Structure 1
Amino acid sequence: MADVVAAEWFKLRSVRSTGAVLGVVAGFTALCVLWSWYVARYWDGLSAARRATAMAAPAEQPLAVSLPVCAVVLGALALTPEYSSGMIRTTLAAVPRRNALFMAKAGVAGGVMGAAALAALAAGSAAGAAVVGDRPVATFQGPAAEVAAHLLWLGLTTAAITLAAFGLGAVLRSTAATITSGMAVLFVLPALARLLPSPWDERIWSALPGSLSNQIAGAPGSSGDHGALPPPAAAAVLAGYVVVALGAGAFAFARRDA
């Protein structure tokens, strides 16, 4: 199994698309610094009265928005191009144990995206705190343990979305279809859910994959923009999506012809 994982790691890091996705992550990390600089300049221009009520998104917000997109893309590209190019036949000839191959591919994709997300989030948050300095901006001055837990959950959520997209790719076998479906689930379905009558709009919106990250990493019992689910329930729902997607993907990968 270790040899299969090593081979899949070499394959994933050798393709240009992986470097492009990680480059986007690095670009949004730099954008965190630019956002923090803007917040600092904006804060300096506020009066004392307005500072008491001023709100600003945290330093890692650009990454929180972009990482799910990068996760869908990397998850799709970890498998579907092999079907379009026919390389999947060569891969299966080298590793005929399909279940082991599927899990190795999924583990490498999820691990790479999760590690990149955690590194970027830590760098963006630390750089933002350094740029803002001692200005008492609430979203930049949280307790270290809470900030670390928040960033950890964002990174783990990114890895989970990568795994879900990978499983979806194994079912659809199309890069375009997988990425389009993933983006629709992340961004289109939440908007449609908001059109439903209350309380179903909030309930369904809160259970969609694109809405779970803030609920997992947010404060317990938060509502409104965060959603109606407490962090444990949101984490359980996200795990359910991963299990279902990987289960369906593993079944399709093992049963269907290459």
Structure 2
Amino acid sequence: MTITTESRAAARPTAPSSYRLGFFRLVQSELLKLFTLRSTWWSLIVTVVLAVGISLLIALVMNSLGDSAGQMSLNPTTAVVSPLQFTMLVAGILGAMAITGEYSTGMIRSSLTAEPRRGAVLLAKALVVTVTLVATTVVTSLISVLVVTPIYGENGFEWGDAERTWIPLGWAVISMATFALLGLGWGFLIRNGAGAIAATVGILFVLPIVVSLFSFGGESWQWLIDLYNYLPSSAAAALTTNPANETVRNVIVLLAWPAAALVGGWAVLRTRDA
């Protein structure tokens, strides 16, 4: 029996392709995957509605109470950044769903086949999530400013005072991005939507409540009460309401939580099969 030319060609090993997916193309693919999900659009819509609506309600309440409630102590910037305590949950959930959806559908295998450098995949997804939340928060803050300004009238924004306006607004933008990255990190770690969302919500919302309950325990539980200052939500609240107080500590706390989650997610992504 003779071996045909076609059989010899098929048996001959092929040279590995020199084509490599560039980082810009990788970011484009991550953008496409994120914004083709309906959950992304719903999350962003809920974020805008919550932020603008709560800012409006706070401004209206303080305006109706007048000086007797110390209206001047709650400046318009505080009204704009106050919804952060609610929208942080949406940001964290969005970050978690940005990756866990790929694991549930098996798309992560296609992503890692197209780009075997797993760290690049994580970095591209983190960049896309960060830019998305930054852009959304900037637009939302602008809308809230426009809505709140007529209510405060003469007691409006003091744009010349950066400590009372620009700095808190800037930290609100950064905080929303870090909350989303925290959820993304847990998504890479757990690889399950429900588990990643539960972990994110637990850190951002449940854990602060649990820790605050020990304030009735006396000095023996003071170490646990002090833990409250090292939670990401409390650091964000301090930076957006009183940025001059313990700024260095709060910045480290705010950035350390998502950084630790992403490093852990990167380690799991490298060592475990998709």
Band the TM-score falls in, shorter-chain normalisation: 0.7 to 0.9
Which of 39, 55, 66 is residue 17 of structure 1 equivalent to?
A: 39
Corresponding residue SS for 1:145: coil
Q: Is the 8 A contact 1:25 1:63 kept in 2?
A: no
Q: What amino acid maps onto 1:119 in structure 2?
A: V
Task: Give 1:225's aligned residue.
Answer: none
| 211-220 or 147-156, which deviates more | 211-220
Q: Judging changes above 3 Å, is the alpha-carbon distance between structure 1 residues 131 and 87 closer, same or farther for their aligned structure 2 residues?
A: same
2:199 counterpart of 1:181: yes
Once the two structures are TM-superposed, the CA of residue 221 in structure 1 deviates from its matched residue by 6.2
2:118 counterpart of 1:102: no
Q: For 1:115 and 1:188, how far apart are their aligned partners in 2?
A: 27
* CA-based RMSD: 2.3
Task: Give 2:6's aligned residue.
Answer: none
Q: For 2:83 and 2:273, how far apart are their aligned partners in 1?
A: 38
Which of 203, 218, 239 is residue 216 of structure 1 equivalent to?
A: 239
Once the two structures are TM-superposed, the CA of residue 174 in structure 1 deviates from its matched residue by 0.7
Alpha-carbon displacement from aligned partner over 1:46-74 (angstroms, at most 9, x marks no partner)? xx6x2657765832155322221111111
Q: Judging changes above 3 Å, is the alpha-carbon distance between structure 1 residues 202 and 54 closer, same or farther for their aligned structure 2 residues?
A: farther
Task: Give 1:85's aligned residue.
Answer: 105
Task: Give 2:166's aligned residue.
Answer: 148
Consecutive unaligned residues in structure 2, runs of 5 or more: 1-22
Once the two structures are TM-superposed, the CA of residue 187 in structure 1 deviates from its matched residue by 1.7
Which structure has the larger Rg?
Answer: 2
Q: For 1:240 and 1:54, how far apart are their aligned partners in 2?
A: 34
Q: For 1:33 and 1:216, how far apart are their aligned partners in 2?
A: 21
Q: Judging changes above 3 Å, is the alpha-carbon distance between structure 1 residues 212 and 256 closer, same or farther for their aligned structure 2 residues?
A: same
Q: For 1:83 and 1:157, how far apart are their aligned partners in 2?
A: 26
Paired residue total: 243
Which of 194, 202, 226 is residue 203 of structure 1 equivalent to?
A: 226
Task: Give 2:29's aligned residue.
Answer: 7
Once the two structures are TM-superposed, the CA of residue 211 in structure 1 deviates from its matched residue by 1.1
Q: Judging changes above 3 Å, is the alpha-carbon distance between structure 1 residues 121 and 202 closer, same or farther for their aligned structure 2 residues?
A: farther
Q: For 2:122 and 2:131, how far apart are their aligned partners in 1?
A: 14
Runs of 4 or more consecutive aligned structure 1 residues displaced over 6 Å after TM superposition: none
| 67-76 or 57-66, which deviates more | 57-66
TM-score where L is the length of structure 2:
0.80
Q: Judging changes above 3 Å, is the alpha-carbon distance between structure 1 residues 21 and 202 closer, same or farther for their aligned structure 2 residues?
A: same
Q: What amino acid maps onto 2:261 in structure 1?
A: A
Task: Give 1:240's aligned residue.
Answer: 256
Corresponding residue SS for 1:104: helix
Once the two structures are TM-superposed, the CA of residue 241 in structure 1 deviates from its matched residue by 1.3
Residue identity (%): 28
Q: For 2:70 and 2:102, how far apart are their aligned partners in 1?
A: 55
